[in-house]
A and B are shown apart, each in its own frame.
Chain A
Amino acid sequence: MTTKNELCADIGYLSINHAGENLCGDHVEKVETDDSLVIVLADGLGSGVKASILSTLTSKIISTMIAAGLKLEDCVETIAATLPVCSVRGVAYSTFTIIRIVENKRAEIIQYDNPKVILLRDGENVEYPVERLEIGGKRITKADIQLKEGDIFIAMSDGVEHAGVGIIYNFGWKRSDIIEFMKTFIPVGFTAKTLTKILLDECDRLYDGKPGDDATVCTVKIRSRMPVNLMFGPPAKREDNDIMMSQFFEKDGKRIICGGTTSTIAANYLKKQLIPKLEYLDPEVPPMAEIEGVDLVTEGVITISRVLEYAKDYLKDNDKYEKWSCGRDGASRIARMLFEDATDVNFFVGRAVNPAHQNPDLPITFNIKMRLVEELSDCLGKMGKKVNVTYF
């Protein structure tokens, strides 16, 4: 979404499946256009393959149509006419929640069944007004909310509210319980993805690890933009050193420099001292260094390889979160700055070949370095960051 103001949306979603099912009957789709962002969370009737098809079709159709600027009525009618009818129950059924963020200024929330989207503002629950509509025989609610920095929207399928039915709670945990649970995590400043994971982990716990329904959470966090600039490797031509450095240092936002030679060049450019540390905060990640005026200085390939490992995991189950979220080593710090702080990531990548590294026994050759950058920028793109890569 093109920036229209200082705000942007950080989005994270995850599902857990009905016990014994390989497919999830819930589905989330996200579509971005020039001025808006559309997220659809659909919950297909039942579970397994059939539910999965229903919810995938529903979310795909709605997100595509809404993003193309079509009227809500048309979208809902299309859904009703398209969905295959369940032979057992005689209905075509998939409930949905649409969150449409326009110009990062306001959010439209349109829901057909599904638990009402929770809005946490300044750490408190806000019960926003909804308008009730009837479209194609379906009762739909619609809300229009002016966005404020720090707003957190939590959309979910009913499997979230039903967690714990008959196990820990008689009737599942209520919306108010979910709100109270989530409120405690807001001051920490977690990302949308992490908040999502926290809520789903709690559901899974309430279900005793055997969910009786598919459960999906999609969190949208409204935050201000934060660019992070990362320089990795010296330029292919020595005479480009100053161009690379000046472009890197004139950017707004935080600065990370990866690589020994690169940091030496940067220190010379800034006429500051490069002070390497000898602390091994993680035995496998080389120590960091310090340059006044640079937020973080680390070794190159080995550190970035670890960051990439964390990035891939973050996009999947986020199991390594505990490792990088509090680690003090270079890779953990880069991970936090890129995954949590950044909304925009600018890579400044030097294509110099370090002759000493071109040894087939070493896992740090030029090709590996270039591949690391490509894969990492791909992962960051999937996290919803605006990524820009410049080669020198």
Chain B
Amino acid sequence: MMMKITVCIGSSCHLKGSREVVEGLQKLIADNGLKDKIELAGTFCLGQCQTGVNVLVGDERYSVTPETVTSFFEKDVLPKLG
């Protein structure tokens, strides 16, 4: 089954580094050869600006920063792929 990762690109998350998070995830997905397993999408404000950058894995929300994107991917994304 395809996994969907959605990154908030609203104003507040943008200022907190959505672009770096998106680029980080794009690279990680490509490097791990997971392009056909993970769909990466954007969303506007999720109403949780305090914890940005907000990232959804399926319906579950995570707080990610440009610095934590790799550990987030290893800890919260890869295991879910099974």
Which residues of A pack against B, CB within 8 Å? 259-261, 263-264, 274, 276-278, 280, 283, 286-287, 289, 299-302, 354, 356-357, 359, 362-364
A85, B13: Cα distance in complex, Å: 64
A357, B7: Cα distance in complex, Å: 18
- Smallest Cβ distance from B59 to chain A, in angstroms? 17
Q: Is the beta-carbon distance between B11 and A364 smaller than 8 angstroms? A: yes
Contact with A along B15-52 (1 / 0, CB 8 A): 10011001100000000000000001111110111100
Q: Is the beta-carbon distance between B11 and A300 smaller than 8 angstroms? A: yes
- Smallest Cβ distance from B17 to chain A, in angstroms? 11
Q: Is the beta-carbon distance between B15 and A299 smaller than 8 angstroms? A: no
Interface size on B, residues (CB 8 A): 21
Q: Is the beta-carbon distance between B19 and A299 smaller than 8 angstroms? A: no
Query: Is B65 part of the binding interface, using a Cβ–Cβ cutoff of 8 Å?
Result: no
Given A264-B44, A276-B44, check contact A363 B15 (CB 8 Å): yes
- On chain B, the residues within 8 Å of A263 by CB distance are 44
A301, B12: Cα distance in complex, Å: 10
- On chain A, the residues within 8 Å of B40 by CB distance are 278
Q: Is the beta-carbon distance between B42 and A277 smaller than 8 angstroms? A: yes
A264, B8: Cα distance in complex, Å: 14
A245, B41: Cα distance in complex, Å: 27
Q: Is the beta-carbon distance between A280 and B45 smaller than 8 angstroms? A: no
- Smallest Cβ distance from B40 to chain A, in angstroms? 7
Q: Is the beta-carbon distance between B11 and A276 smaller than 8 angstroms? A: no
Q: Is the beta-carbon distance between A283 and B19 smaller than 8 angstroms? A: yes
Q: Is the beta-carbon distance between B44 and A278 smaller than 8 angstroms? A: no
- On chain B, the residues within 8 Å of A359 by CB distance are 49-50
User: What are 14 A-B contacts with C-beta separation under 8 Å?
Assistant: A260-B44, A260-B45, A276-B41, A278-B7, A278-B40, A286-B10, A286-B19, A289-B42, A299-B14, A354-B49, A356-B12, A359-B50, A362-B15, A364-B12
- Smallest Cβ distance from B61 to chain A, in angstroms? 14
- On chain B, the residues within 8 Å of A363 by CB distance are 15
- On chain A, the residues within 8 Å of B47 by CB distance are 356
Given A278-B7, A283-B19, check contact A362 B42 (CB 8 Å): no
A299, B18: Cα distance in complex, Å: 13
Candidates B12, B42, B50; contact of A278 at CB < 8 Å: B42
Query: Is B9 part of the binding interface, using a Cβ–Cβ cutoff of 8 Å?
Result: yes
- On chain A, the residues within 8 Å of B12 by CB distance are 356-357, 362, 364
Candidates A286, A356, A362, A364; contact of B18 at CB < 8 Å: A286
Given A276-B41, A277-B42, A299-B14, check contact A286 B49 (CB 8 Å): no
A13, B44: Cα distance in complex, Å: 41
- On chain A, the residues within 8 Å of B45 by CB distance are 260-261, 354, 356
A363, B15: Cα distance in complex, Å: 9
- On chain B, the residues within 8 Å of A283 by CB distance are 19
Candidates A274, A280, A299; contact of B10 at CB < 8 Å: A299
Q: Is the beta-carbon distance between A356 and B49 smaller than 8 angstroms? A: yes
- On chain A, the residues within 8 Å of B48 by CB distance are 356
- Smallest Cβ distance from B26 to chain A, in angstroms? 8
A289, B7: Cα distance in complex, Å: 14
- On chain B, the residues within 8 Å of A301 by CB distance are 11
Q: Is the beta-carbon distance between B43 and A286 smaller than 8 angstroms? A: no
- On chain B, the residues within 8 Å of A286 by CB distance are 9-11, 14, 18-19
A354, B48: Cα distance in complex, Å: 11
Known: A274-B44, A286-B10. 19 other contacts (CB 8 A): A259-B11, A276-B42, A276-B43, A280-B23, A286-B9, A286-B11, A286-B14, A287-B9, A287-B42, A289-B42, A299-B9, A354-B49, A356-B12, A356-B48, A357-B49, A359-B50, A362-B12, A364-B11, A364-B15
- On chain B, the residues within 8 Å of A278 by CB distance are 7, 9, 22, 40-42
